[in-house]
Chain A
Amino acid sequence: MTNILFYVLAIVALLGAAGVVLAKSPMGSVVSLLGTFFALAVIYLLAGFQFLAGAQILVYAGAILVLFLFVIMLLNLGAMGSKFELSFAPLQSTRARIAGCIALALALVGLVAAQRASFAAVPERDASAPAIDSMEGLALELFGRYSLPFQATSLLLLVTMVGVIALAKRQRSGDEPAKGEERP
């Protein structure tokens, strides 16, 4: 039963991905991406990653996609079409054919590599089974073995914040950035 659900969700995710590529307006791409993210979140849940499924929803759907939406609205790019429409125009050029070949080649490589891995069969997992990424286990890993990369991540976020503020600030010509903006 859950296996069938997985295949259905996989198809949904792939269709969503195709929608991102083919949607005529950026708004359509965002909606397709949202579908893909949700499908992936459920797949994570099925596979036994409860925390990751939650993070997927919260961070991707909740934060990143909203950011995209903000920017689309801000730049007024959503006015191109209110309906969800597909457009195959980007695929009509020579460049697109070469790009297609490259993408196809990479997909084939991935498929062959996965096929060759010849994994052992995994046991049936039901919904009541404990999650692989239990909070306790993840915390032990993040604050234990990976504490240094974890702290580096915080630094990355800080740098990102400063950089984004500096980039997005509307600069008057010949104006130095104000002091307050350099202080996060």
Chain B
Amino acid sequence: MQSHESHAWLWWIPLLPLIGSAIAGALHLATLRARKNDPSAAAPGTLAPWIACAAMAAAFGLSVKGFFTLQELAPSARQLASTVHHWISVNYPARGEFAVDLSLLLDPLSSTMTLVVTGVGFLIHVYAAGYMKGDPGYGKFFAYLNLFVFAMLMLVLSSSLLGVFIGWEGVGLCSFLLIGFWYEKGWPAEAAQKAFVMNRVGDACFLIGSFLLVRLFGTLDMATIAGAIGRGPVELEPDVQLQVSLAALFLFGGACGKSAQFPLFTWLPDAMAGPTPVSALIHAATMVTSGIYLIVRLNPLFASSGWVLPVIGVVGALTALIGGSTALVQRDIKKVLAYSTVSQLGYMFLALGTGAWAAAVFHLVTHAFFKALLFLGAGSVIHGMHEEQDMHKMGGLRKYMPQTFVTFLAGSAALSGLPLMSGFFSKDEILAHAFAGGGLYWGLWIVGVLTAALTAYYTWRMVALTFFGEERFDRHHVHPHESPAVMTVPLMVLAVLSVVGGVLGLPPVLHAPHLLAEWLEPVTRDGSRILAERAGEHELSHTLEWILLGLGAAIALAFAHTGFHAHKRGTAQDETLTARRPALAAWLADAWTIDTTYKRVILLPLRLVSFVVAVVVDQFAIDGTVNGIGASARDVAQWTRRSATGSLAGYAMWMGAGAVVISLVWMWS
């Protein structure tokens, strides 16, 4: 099945951004040194964005080449592999060989991810070249950004879980560096630490899951694992079933950390402390979707995991609801988008929970388009408003920044799922799958529909508060202006993609091919087959599908309309809510008080225990003992030093006395 032909050029896809990162970093350091000698030297690293963007463009070109190479192959043979190094090879006499290769695998799934990462990533790089202009860390920023892309590409291209883990940690590191990019301000550094620590929880789960897989299959190669499960019997032995379920659960835990799912999502809103292009690239379009990628990649494992799938669905639905409801009351435009991202990621996990692998990837792709667009648009607004992020201090911006406004509208339409937009089709597909699942999934469907309504509402509230209504900013000090072309052109490209992205996955009732699902079919086939054999096929009648489509469209339109008109005139609606239901507003604004709960339940006892350990155990008991021993030795020495008189006769006297004692003992024993 696997192609034996080596495709070493695959390595250039991740390596190009790595090289770009190294060059940009070196440029930054060189500029730093130059400025140290001459403070009036030119703005730092002006060459860095060119290099970074060139590396991204080249990587994108190679990704496109990979895509077309794959397309020429027969669907079942669409796999390009390249192994350059037999990294780990351990021979256990009892269990056989355990080997990990340093190898890449390009198949329809990783090709899709690579295209999204490099394509959207390239646009965001171009945008960032304008957005970050004049920042003292200009070169450093692009070094980090390119390094992130390298790690992300390693994550999606590696054929073994260990390689994925390297990328997984790499993107975590870059996320940390970029969230804390403006660390001088203080709170971005704290947000970066929070993201890093919360991700560690997930990473520990990831590792445990990997260990369980090694125990089960003796390998970390994902194709081998998926193949072993896919070829094996549908019904597993009870103890094997338990291990498979546990492995799937722990891997899902890892995905929860990286993809900001309940209960580990609280780092993502704080991650907005980073520059806006970072929020767009890492915390909306790519890194946070790696959890979805992981589950789709191992879909046969999750399909046979039994009760883990409903757990994923419930967690996804809950996260979607929490994110959507919290986004309703946020005033910070980036916080709205952050909670919206949490919510949409929840949608994707809801899709995975129903076994709709392709639908999850479909939503991932469309979400990458429109959420990147929205973040970049928000960045453009913030840029034009002199770093103002509070929507209550905006309003009426549509006449100042028309290009941003139009593209933002396109992104909002896609996010809220207005008919025929990309988000409409992807969201509808997920909801249709949930509806078809029956039983528990009916509940998830209801939550999904509710969240769709919330999504439409908060999206258009955001649009209304930002671009419509009276101008609530201080006109003497703030002069809103349109962003330069280097920023608006990527917006337009993304806007077009957001609008037409839906053609990738048209619903079956339109009698058009679901392009993405067909493309991913070699990857998702085994998982779907296992699910079908275990739970039976769920086919929706065309009438029902039409009804669901219509329902989705109606809800989106209705709530978009409500949300828009309730906030068109200004902040009155928000103030009414805060005045009438202060407790509810506070509860929503605090994201269901989950962060506060963490502080109370985990942080406070931890601090207490740390205090006890540090002061009572360490300083008092351990230090006291050690210091006491030292002090007593000193006291004893103070006392005994008197015997060392320096007088030879004195010493001889003691020696003689000792000789007497020893000989007496010797005589009477």
Contact = CB atoms under 8 A, between A and B. Distances in A.
B660 A105 contact: yes
B656 interface: yes
B666 to A, nearest CB: 9
Contact of B653 (A98, A106, A112, A113): A98
Contacts of A112: 667
A102 B660 contact: yes
Nearest to A110: B663
User: For chain A, what secondary structure do more than half of its interface residues adopt (helix, strand, loop), or is it mixed?
Assistant: helix
Contacts of A172: none
B440 interface: no
B649 A106 contact: no
B631 interface: no
B626 interface: no
A113 B669 CA distance: 13
B659 A106 contact: yes
A134 B623 CA distance: 70
Nearest to A113: B667
Contacts of A113: 663, 667
B510 interface: no
A142 to B, nearest CB: 30
A102 B663 contact: no
B659 A99 contact: no
A102 B657 CA distance: 6
A103 interface: yes
Interface in B625-669: 649, 653, 656-657, 659-660, 663-664, 667
B649 A103 contact: no
Nearest to B657: A102
Interface string A104-134: 0110010011001000000000000000000
Nearest to B659: A106
Contacts of B657: 102
A102 B667 contact: no
A106 B656 contact: yes
A95 interface: yes
B663 A109 contact: yes
A52 to B, nearest CB: 25
Given A95-B649, A95-B653, A98-B653, A106 B660 contact: yes
A98 B650 CA distance: 11
Contacts of B663: 106, 109, 113
B348 to A, nearest CB: 83
Given A109-B664, A109-B667, A102 B656 contact: yes
B646 to A, nearest CB: 15
Contacts of B656: 99, 102-103, 106
Nearest to B667: A113
A116 B659 CA distance: 19
Contacts of A103: 656
Contacts of A99: 649, 653, 656
Interface residues of A, number: 11
A164 B297 CA distance: 85
A106 B653 CA distance: 12
Nearest to B649: A95
Contacts of B664: 109
A118 to B, nearest CB: 14
Contacts of A102: 653, 656-657, 660
A109 B662 CA distance: 11
A95 B659 CA distance: 17
B663 to A, nearest CB: 5
A112 B667 CA distance: 9
A76 B500 CA distance: 118
B444 to A, nearest CB: 92
A105 B658 CA distance: 11
A109 B653 contact: no
Contacts of B649: 95, 99
Residue in A98, A103, A109, A116 with the greatest tally of chain B CB atoms within 10 Å: A109
Nearest to B663: A109
Contacts of A106: 656, 659-660, 663
Interface string A140-181: 000000000000000000000000000000000000000000
A112 B659 CA distance: 15
A98 B663 CA distance: 18
Nearest to A103: B656
B179 to A, nearest CB: 65
Interface string A83-113: 0000000000001001100110110010011
Contacts of B653: 95, 98-99, 102
A157 to B, nearest CB: 26
Nearest to B656: A102
A103 B667 CA distance: 17
Nearest to A99: B653
A102 B664 CA distance: 12
Nearest to A105: B660
Q: Which of A102, A103, A106 is packed against the most chain B CB atoms within 10 Å?
A: A102
Nearest to B654: A102
A19 B523 CA distance: 111
Nearest to B664: A109
Contacts of B667: 109, 112-113, 116
A38 to B, nearest CB: 27
A107 B64 CA distance: 106
Nearest to B661: A105
Nearest to A109: B663
A95 B344 CA distance: 97
B225 to A, nearest CB: 71
A116 B663 CA distance: 14
Nearest to A116: B667
A102 B659 CA distance: 9
Contacts of A95: 649, 653
Contacts of B660: 102, 105-106, 109
Interface of B: 649, 653, 656-657, 659-660, 663-664, 667
Question: Which 6 A-B pairs give the minimum distances between C-beta atoms?
Answer: A102-B656, A105-B660, A109-B663, A106-B660, A102-B657, A102-B660
12 contacts: A95-B649, A95-B653, A98-B653, A99-B653, A102-B657, A102-B660, A103-B656, A106-B656, A106-B660, A109-B660, A112-B667, A113-B667
Given A99-B649, A99-B653, A102-B653, 10 more contacts: A95-B649, A102-B656, A102-B660, A105-B660, A106-B656, A106-B659, A106-B660, A106-B663, A109-B667, A112-B667
